[in-house]
Amino acid sequence: MTSGNDGRRLKYVGLAIAAAALYALSVPLSKLLMGSVDPGALAGLLYLGAGAGMWAYLAARHAAGLKSTARPMQQKDTRYVIGMVILDIAAPLLLMGGLASSAPESVSLLNNFEIVATALVARALFGEIISAKLWAGIAAMTTSCALLTIEPVAGLALSSGSLLVLGACLCWGIENNCTAAISDCDPALVVAIKGIGSGMGALCVALLGGSPLPALVPALLAMALGFASYGLSILAYVTAQRGLGAARTSAYYAVGPFIGVAVAWLIFGETPGTGFVAALVLMALGSWLSLPEG
């Protein structure tokens, strides 16, 4: 029989995997939307969709007389909220910029570098323990990312699109730890603040950089995707962090890129090369090694 603690742990693990599956849809479906939405504007609209959806959820919950049992935000949380919003302005802009010039399956796989960044930042700033097994996983995933980033046909030149994606992962790795520090607050409120603040910031940066606004229907589709792949995903992720911590939640979240790869192959039907297959095997090994024991 499963104990109460085991049951709660399984709940958090399930939420982390659900968050990964929802986010996995964002890369291939965003690639499809780039036919009608500029990458910069798309980055902002995805987060705006997440924020707007969560504010609507909070309003409906309030109207129904339901109250969150989480602690309210305090002044000490301000630095984490500001860091979270700023990093989430940069990350989607970098990701969409990289996706515009890269294959969606490669971008999906590169997203696992977020695990490496999250674990290292959690160790450096918050003292989370990194086991020898996790170090081995980090090494395997970093090697996989290196294979995906180098373009052999260009004389071993670095792929600019892949470097942008890795930059996004670094931002999210730091941001995950900021969010973990306030994960005992109402997760819906955290997502609402993150979505509106980061979405408006990213959209302003994109418009100032010359990105055109899309037509109404593509914009609504982008926001709907953002609500599912960012809003609901982040809500599940933040809730999972309550019981698992930043590094462990990221480890379970590692299943997401492989779902993204599968969806990208189904949509775009591209045949993977030898280098991609090698990177896929290394990433799978690294992700398995990164799973917490017990």
Share of the chain above pLDDT 90, in %: 41
Distance CA 206, CA 272 (A): 32
**Burial of 6: CB neighbours in 10 Å, binned 0-12, 13-18, 19+:** exposed
**Burial of 247: CB neighbours in 10 Å, binned 0-12, 13-18, 19+:** buried
**Residue 236 scores a pLDDT above 80:** yes
Assign 118 a pLDDT band (cuts: 50, 70, 90). confident
User: Which domain covers residue 8, as residue numbers?
Assistant: 4-290
Distance CA 91, CA 106 (A): 17
**Mean predicted confidence (pLDDT) in 130-138:** 86
State the first-to-last Cα distance of the chain, in angstroms, to the nearest integer. Answer: 16
Total number of domains in the chain: 1
Q: Are 218 and 42 in contact (CB under 8 A)?
A: no
Distance CA 39, CA 23 (A): 17
For the question of whether the overall pTM of this predicted structure is more than 0.75, the answer is yes
**CA nearest neighbour of 189 among 93, 71, 83:** 71
**Residue 208 scores a pLDDT above 60:** yes
**Residue 25 scores a pLDDT above 60:** yes
pLDDT in the model for residue 255: 83
- pLDDT digits over 59-109, tens only? 999 999 988 888 899 999 999 999 999 999 999 999 999 999 888 989 988
Q: Are 16 and 252 in contact (CB under 8 A)?
A: yes
- C-alpha distances (whole Å) from 2 to each of 13, 207, 212, 245, 291 are 15, 53, 54, 22, 21
**Residue 154 scores a pLDDT above 50:** no
- pLDDT digits over 267-289, tens only? 888 777 888 888 889 988 988 88
